[in-house]
């Protein structure tokens, strides 16, 4: 087992200890002062963003949130990534209880803070970090519930992310497959960088303790089952699961089996580092007439099949910082000058596949320019869009089964959507 935390400190922005909990007795409050000294020494260093520091036999792991430093000190050879993740979970829990995590909210809730820290870590090992479960037995004014003499079900049960006894009149599951396309195209029209980041986002309203099984068109799974994979399977990369998924089961037979949390959560995230054809291609020709005006001709073309339609398309076109009096004409949608962005924003509510639209714009420039004019800004064209019922990767949900001992019938709803992430096309 990885080494444990020795103590957890909550410090203000000046390094003063607000709260600390000693778990193993091998560090003192002086360690917080040593940590802050190391932190000041690191300022200006190229590695100043490193969340881990080491000094005289003690490892310090920390995160900063608002005006608070959360720091764990350990004398053991510990799993730094695990403890840093734990600190982020502590932030989430405190925000759940106090709305905002800052010095004032800690001072106003000292008793609750210590109760939470005692439940979330035992002898230096992380325990329960689900706010919804902790709120069952650590109550503030926001959690006035009937007093119960028994421990919460989720603590005695192996499933720490879900309470027992949940009941819904209508049992439903909503699954959104959301993919973000990141792409960078240089001025020569070559794709410099492209990838797809996907997430399976779930909202569950299910009674009892349901067992869910999800099947995807995963190439490894289909080949193991002896099914044809040509054109119907995908290679998933960099998969990360919610803690509810049984990882051993997935490793054995690629089945995604889980007891879901109640409400909204990300079941799975993945990344595909693949060459992506730009879904919306934008070309811009810019002509300067003397120094008085600039003309812009822009063509936007959708490069996906006609049966799909992009919605809420926004194309942000950079213009000179001293441009004024725009005269704009579009073949579809509307365009507005956004001087705070030094850009012309072209909005198209509905952009069908395999279509091309045009924009013409003319801007006036000041007739008098400075002798030492600043170099022209080389901002890229930025594009935003959403394409429902469409995924770049081709991922498909083959089935979603919900089994619960009471035998109720649940309604699963599956939806696909692709959107622009960091989507930029350089002009020059």
User: Rounded to an integer, what distance in angstroms lies between the CA atom of residue 97 and that of residue 280?
Assistant: 43
> Which is it for strands 68-74 and 263-272: parallel, antiparallel or unpaired?
unpaired
Identify the pLDDT of residue 427: 72
Nearest to 366 by CA among 417, 425, 282, 294: 294
Alpha-carbon 230 to chain mean position: 32
Same-domain status, 363 and 284: yes
Domain extent for 318: 280-388
Same-domain status, 399 and 261: yes
Same-domain status, 335 and 405: no
Is the residue at 368 inside a domain?
Answer: yes
User: Rounded to an integer, what distance in angstroms lies between the CA atom of residue 14 and that of residue 68?
Assistant: 9
Same-domain status, 231 and 264: yes
Domain finish residue from 104, 128, 156: 156
Reading the block at residue 268, the tokens are: 């799975």
User: Rounded to an integer, what distance in angstroms lies between the CA atom of residue 15 and that of residue 43?
Assistant: 14
Bridge partners (DSSP) of residue 26 are none
Same-domain status, 305 and 178: no
Identify the pLDDT of residue 282: 94
Is the residue at 31 inside a domain?
Answer: yes
> Which of 154-167 are b and which e, b meaning 16 or more Cβ less than 10 Å from the residue's Cβ?
beeeebbbbbeeee
Q: Distances from the Cα of 235 to the Cαs of 199, 222, 255, 279, 285, in angstroms?
A: 15, 11, 15, 21, 39
The edge-to-edge listing of strands for the beta sheet with 17-22 is 17-22, 7-12, 68-74, 58-65, 52-55
Provide the angle, in degrees to the nearest 10, between the axes of the packed helices 110-120 and 80-98. Answer: 140
Own/partner contacts of 255-259, CB < 8 Å, gap of 24 or more, are 255/213, 255/215, 255/221, 256/213, 256/214, 256/215, 256/216, 257/211, 257/212, 257/213, 257/214, 258/211, 258/212, 258/214, 259/159, 259/162, 259/209, 259/210, 259/211, 259/212
Same-domain status, 270 and 353: no
The edge-to-edge listing of strands for the beta sheet with 334-338 is 237-241, 263-272, 191-205, 172-185, 411-425, 381-388, 309-318, 343-352, 334-338
Is the residue at 162 inside a domain?
Answer: no
Identify the pLDDT of residue 255: 83
CATH number at residue 322: 2.60.40.1170
Same-domain status, 238 and 356: no
For tokens 């398309």, the residue is: 313
> Which is it for strands 397-403 and 343-352: parallel, antiparallel or unpaired?
unpaired
Same-domain status, 223 and 140: no
Same-domain status, 384 and 396: no
Same-domain status, 291 and 379: yes
Alpha-carbon 31 to chain mean position: 34
Identify the pLDDT of residue 340: 86
Nearest to 261 by CA among 157, 397, 408: 157
Alpha-carbon 397 to chain mean position: 22
Going residue by residue through the chain, which has 428 residues, state the pLDDT in tens, using 9 for 90 and above.
456 888 899 988 888 888 888 888 888 888 888 888 878 777 655 555 788 888 888 888 899 888 889 999 998 888 888 899 899 999 988 888 888 888 888 888 888 888 888 888 888 888 878 877 777 777 765 433 344 444 554 444 557 788 888 899 999 999 999 999 999 998 888 899 999 999 999 999 999 999 999 988 866 555 555 555 444 566 777 888 998 999 888 888 778 999 999 999 999 999 888 788 899 999 998 888 767 788 889 999 999 999 999 999 999 999 888 777 788 999 999 999 988 888 899 999 999 999 999 999 998 877 655 544 455 557 899 999 999 999 998 888 989 999 998 989 898 999 999 999 999 998 75
Domain count, the chain: 3
Bridge partners (DSSP) of residue 189 are none
Same-domain status, 372 and 320: yes
User: Rounded to an integer, what distance in angstroms lies between the CA atom of residue 328 and that of residue 259?
Assistant: 55
Same-domain status, 135 and 220: no
Question: Helices in 225-323 by DSSP H: which ranges?
Answer: 247-253
């Amino acid at each position: 087992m990885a080494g444990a935390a020795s103590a957890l400190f909550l410090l203000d922005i000046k390094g003063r200890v607000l709260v600390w909990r000693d778990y193993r007795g091998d560090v003192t409050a002086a360690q917080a002062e040593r940590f802050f000294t190391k932190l000041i020494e690191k300022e200006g260093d190229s590695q100043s963003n490193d969340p881990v520091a080491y000094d005289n036999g003690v490892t310090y792991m920390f995160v900063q949130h608002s005006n608070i430093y959360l720091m764990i000190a350990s004398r053991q050879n510990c799993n730094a990534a695990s403890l840093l993740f734990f600190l982020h979970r502590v932030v989430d829990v405190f925000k759940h209880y106090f709305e905002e995590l800052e010095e004032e909210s800690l001072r106003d809730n000292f008793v609750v803070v210590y109760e939470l820290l005692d439940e979330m870590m035992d002898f230096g090992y992380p325990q329960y970090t689900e706010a919804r479960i902790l709120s069952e037995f650590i109550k503030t004014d926001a959690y006035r519930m009937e007093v119960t003499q028994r421990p919460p079900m989720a603590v005695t049960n192996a499933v720490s992310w879900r309470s027992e006894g949940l009941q819904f009149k209508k049992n439903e599951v909503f699954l959104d497959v959301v993919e973000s396309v990141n792409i960078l195209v240089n001025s020569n029209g070559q794709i410099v960088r492209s990838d797809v980041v996907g997430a399976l986002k779930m909202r569950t309203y299910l009674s009892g303790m349901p067992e869910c099984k999800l099947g995807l068109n995963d190439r490894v799974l289909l080949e193991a089952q002896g099914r044809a994979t040509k054109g119907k399977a995908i290679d998933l990369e960099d998969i990360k699961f919610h803690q509810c998924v049984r990882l051993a089961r997935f490793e054995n037979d690629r089945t995604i089996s889980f007891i879901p949390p109640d409400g909204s959560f990300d079941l799975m995230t993945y990344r595909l580092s693949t060459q992506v054809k730009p879904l919306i291609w934008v070309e811009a020709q810019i002509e300067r007439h003397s120094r008085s005006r600039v003309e812009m001709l822009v063509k936007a073309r959708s490069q996906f099949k006609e049966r799909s339609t992009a919605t809420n398309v926004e194309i942000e076109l950079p213009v000179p910082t001293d441009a004024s009096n725009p005269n704009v004409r579009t073949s579809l949608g509307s365009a507005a000058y956004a001087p705070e962005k030094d850009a012309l924003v072209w909005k198209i509510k509905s952009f069908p596949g395999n279509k091309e639209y045009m924009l013409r714009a003319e801007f006036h420039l000041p007739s008098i320019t400075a002798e030492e004019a600043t170099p022209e800004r080389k901002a890229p064209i930025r594009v935003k869009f959403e394409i429902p019922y469409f995924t770049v990767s081709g991922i498909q949900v083959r089935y979603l089964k919900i089994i619960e001992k009471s035998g109720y019938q649940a309604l699963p709803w599956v939806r696909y959507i692709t959107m622009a992430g960091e989507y930029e096309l350089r002009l020059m």
